[in-house]
Structure 1
């Protein structure tokens, strides 16, 4: 199973690949924006999760 960081990187890579492109006559701007927003939200949640783990002194099994 991919790590959260790998998923975030994949979303951003897909957004870069589709940026400014047309697919079946439609601009991919909305899709790229959604991919980036999803990556940003996952990144924010990952930081929050790390802070909570540190606070509760729970080891991060993904590191």
Structure 2
């Protein structure tokens, strides 16, 4: 697991849980967020040296 995953995974998972109300669905959504982030890694714009805003946008979309 990379440092980005370690620092962003739990907050994104919690956000996905708040959106779905179900931990299993939140886990699936979190996986989808990080898969999308991996696929878009060349296009991600860092904000204050962080990719977290992209993860929040992806998880909310």
Provide TM-score, normalisation by structure 1: 0.38
Provide TM-score, normalisation by structure 2: 0.39
